[in-house]
Structure 1
């Protein structure tokens, strides 16, 4: 019986219309659940998800010209800056998050670190930290913005330079490998943290909770969580690579907002629209909240959103 059901499922998947979804690594867990619920509701579709840093996802579309139906970003501005208007017509703002400092029981000074002393702990000799590549992943440049905000909040103006010291922008390979580990996206760093390759990770709260990590919850002035502190966040900025080689986009501190869109030349436009509608639906929002993310209810949609997708 089980073999029959397996073969039936395999046969259905072979004939199902594929919906290719490029999405931020931090959306992997909730989107896995959304995929299952969506396919149960619409068995004629087969969702194919591909996780990467949000900017890397956009580059696959703009630079590598890979075919995709949907793009979901951990920073809605990635869609605004890299995809609209040539590759997408709208941007649906649907979820929120916040930055934390994650660690394991094996991390150096794990029993002593707290919200008040984490900047001192991270600067201690022998302590290693990890963050994702800011040119590929919003979590990377948000990690840098957090260190800059921490310097202001804790009145430690040299904290960013002492810990990371990249200057105005990051060039791959320039990190102090004795102190810092960098990988393309934040989820690439989880296994290394759990294996003890380094001690502390700048990561989204939802991801830390999904993977059962200990974490330091940061003050709202630092965590990039609250609209209330939008002006405070604007005090810091960092440059990331732009659309053309040698160009840059300035990323200012801002509350964390996720965005999702349908790609203009989507091979499966109808399926893409249905998938995005499901993500934005009450059922989709419930799944996001269950996995540790805040939601924007109702979602804020900027641009042209087709009638048959509503």
Structure 2
């Protein structure tokens, strides 16, 4: 091959590469990473939704989107922002009240209620008395010698403080000392009437009870057979194909019509000093004021609150509010998707 022809081929090749970059090929698109602090129980639906949004953003917004997810208990997720000064774009929690209590007005000026859940007791066929436990005798089974159970840390995770409030509500519903038998005898968490106190440093007595930072940390222990039962959200039990006991509506924190009944029980958390009343389970989400990629984060939130998000959450066995309910200085692009309150 003559040298002139060789150099012509090289030049043509470079021109094609350059044209591809200028034309906005995937290799030439900017990449932005959204940082999401979220409840552990949101891990699976968020992972699926993030994958779908990444594809949508590349096709429609001209940007490559990656996600840096940090799953934890919701209290811990919020305290990463308020106490540790960590940067995030989105905070999604299993108890929406944490946002107005701890993030408004310094860190955000709006939030959206978007999903619900309920507390169940999950187990496998390997759990002791798996063929005997039901919605009327569960507290007796958990109290049996040799049976182990768990819940997440009330100071870090709403599923934890909801679990202990469920056991106090069980006192009222069954007229039995469920809370004393299962909680007070096994930890330093205690109650005065229907008000529960969770010390900043929770101590576990004996080997009957296991407490972990977030509810999903207990899933593997039950799946492996090293733990018999644990208190968990129904959606997580479904996602992991676990057996579970449906608790009566008077104690499972699912029924909005029983909000006044639930509110008879409350808990003070040593981690925050805040007192929380038992209430129907509602998840909340916000975009922070100083979000590194605020505009893109709002686009993702719009994606979550629309039909895409509703479909993904229903596929992951979690009920979605219709419509989601928003409070505060709600961004204009979200208003068509939500009911604005207050």
| Fold match (TM-score > 0.5) | yes
Change (3 A) 1:286 1:121: same
SS at match of 2:312: helix
Contact persistence 2:118–2:253 (CA under 8 A): yes
Q: Higher Cα Rg: structure 1 or 2?
A: 2
Q: Which range moves more in the overlay, 175-184 or 205-214? A: 175-184
Q: Which residue does 2:278 correspond to in 1?
A: 253
Instruction: State the Cα RMSD in Å.
Output: 1.5
Q: Which residue does 2:57 correspond to in 1?
A: 42
Q: Which residue does 1:32 correspond to in 2?
A: 47
SS at match of 1:216: strand
SS at match of 1:76: coil
Aligned residues: 295
Q: Does 1:225 align with 2:244?
A: no
Distance 1:50 1:277 in 2: 20
Determine which of 262, 270, 287 is the counterpart of 1:241.
270
Change (3 A) 1:116 1:252: same
Q: Which residue does 2:106 correspond to in 1?
A: 86
Q: Which residue does 1:131 correspond to in 2?
A: 151
Q: Does 1:189 align with 2:218?
A: yes
Determine which of 181, 193, 196 is the counterpart of 1:162.
181
Q: Which range moves more in the overlay, 285-294 or 168-177? A: 168-177
Contact persistence 2:200–2:269 (CA under 8 A): no
Deviation, 1:308, is 4.1
Higher relative contact order (CA closer than 8 Å, sequence separation 6+): 1
Change (3 A) 1:304 1:106: same
CA displacement, residues 101-124 of structure 1 (integer Å, 9 cap, x when unaligned) = 000111111010011110110111
Distance 1:171 1:59 in 2: 14
Deviation, 1:81, is 1.1
Q: Which residue does 2:309 correspond to in 1?
A: 284
Distance 1:218 1:284 in 2: 28
Contact persistence 2:40–2:215 (CA under 8 A): yes
Q: Which residue does 1:6 correspond to in 2?
A: none
Distance 2:270 2:328 in 1: 25
Determine which of 317, 320, 327 is the counterpart of 1:295.
320
Q: Does 1:21 align with 2:40?
A: no
Q: Which residue does 1:103 correspond to in 2?
A: 123
State the TM-score, normalizing by the size of structure 1: 0.92
State the TM-score, normalizing by the size of structure 2: 0.83
Deviation, 1:59, is 0.7
